[in-house]
Structures are given as structure tokens and as C-alpha cells.
Homo-oligomer: A and B are copies of this chain.
Amino acid sequence: MSDKSKTREQILDAAMNRIKHYGYGKTTMSEIARDCDMSAGNIYRFFASKLDIAEAMARKFNSDLYQTYSEISRSDAPPAQRLRQVFHYGLDQTFDAIEREAKILEVAEVLGEERPLFMNEGLAQERIYLCTILEDGIERGDFAPIADCNYTAEMIQSALMKYRFPQLFSRLTLPKLRRELNGVLDIIIAGLAKGIEKTPETEH
């Protein structure tokens, strides 16, 4: 059992090294296999497909993010500040990762295209931490009460989508992105403090 997961780890590691350097498209299964002294066919006993290797790679990246999100969401800083920290940390990490290894952007693109559900899964996970912060903020009186925390978290995610894979949606520099993110967060946080009124209808 540990033997099996050890090999899996080795494959993932070899794949990550190659993919980070050469990109997803330019990395072949037999190259990964060669790095692990095994046949390409054998990889399939550990990963159902090449795409699943990319997914595992992203999952690893995400779990590091979530670790920090969890810590931030539990900290005793003001909730508004925790909200900022979560999104700034996410922005900085992904921007840096893509800056350092441009090929990571390709992995994000491929997964976004081929595994949209995985992306949703990540958003749902992130919302758990956002809800913690929102609920705490409400309890402390920093935020006005909210009907549905998860819904509000979803709306916040929608508004900040641009900063999730920054290099995918624009070509802004990190400072400009941070400035924008801060500006949008200013509005969102003010809105949370004020209390959100849902409007019934909107016609024109």
C-alpha cells in the first residue's frame, strides 16, 4: 500500500519536473516513465490518464493554498483583513508560480478546459474558508448578517475571478493586479459591513 503510493508520488514528482519545464503538451508519458525507470504502460496502474497527472499536480498546489487559507481563516485578525489576506495570498502564489514556471499556465488552461468540475471543486473548497471568515465577521459585528453565507462567498469569488489565474485574463503586472484586487476588495468589504440588500427585479 505504502509501496504503491510511493511509486505514485515518484511518478507525480517526475511529471511535475518535466511539465514545469517543458509544459504539459511537450511532456510525454514515456519520458515520465523513463525518469522513473519503468514502462509508459506501467504509469497507468497509478494514474488513469495523463490528465489525471495534471490534476494531481494542481491538487498538490491547491492543498498548499488551502493550508494557508485555513490558517488565515482561523487567525484572530479582523475578518476584513483575513479576507484580503486570502485573496492576496492566492494572487501572489499563483502569479509567482506562473512567473517562475510559465508552463504552469498551460496546466491551468488544460484543466479549465478538460476538467471544469475539478475547478468547481476548488472553488467550493475555498468557499468553506470564506464562510468561516464571513460568519466570524458577522459574529463580531464587523459584517452585517447575511442570509446565505455560501451564496455570498460565491458572489465574492465571481467578483474576484480575474485575480485567480491573473495571466490568463490580462497582462497586467503584479503591482497593478494587487492595486485592482485591493480596490475591488475595498468595495466588497464596505458592502459586507453595510449589509447586502437583495433586489427583487431589474428591468430596463
Contacts and interface: CB of A to CB of B under 8 A. Distances in A.
The A contact surface, by secondary structure, is: helix
A84 B80 CA distance: 25
A88 B180 CA distance: 23
A156 B190 CA distance: 13
Contacts of A155: 180, 183-184, 186-187
Contact of A191 (B81, B84, B161, B190): B190
A195 B187 contact: no
- Tell which of A116, A158, A162, A183 has the most Cβ of chain B within 10 Å: A158
B204 A186 contact: no
7 contacts: A84-B199, A84-B202, A88-B204, A152-B183, A152-B187, A155-B184, A158-B184
Interface of A: 68, 72, 80-81, 84-85, 88-89, 116, 151-152, 154-156, 158-162, 169, 171, 180, 182-199, 202, 204
Given A162-B162, A169-B169, 10 more contacts: A85-B204, A151-B183, A154-B180, A158-B180, A158-B183, A161-B169, A182-B198, A182-B202, A187-B188, A187-B196
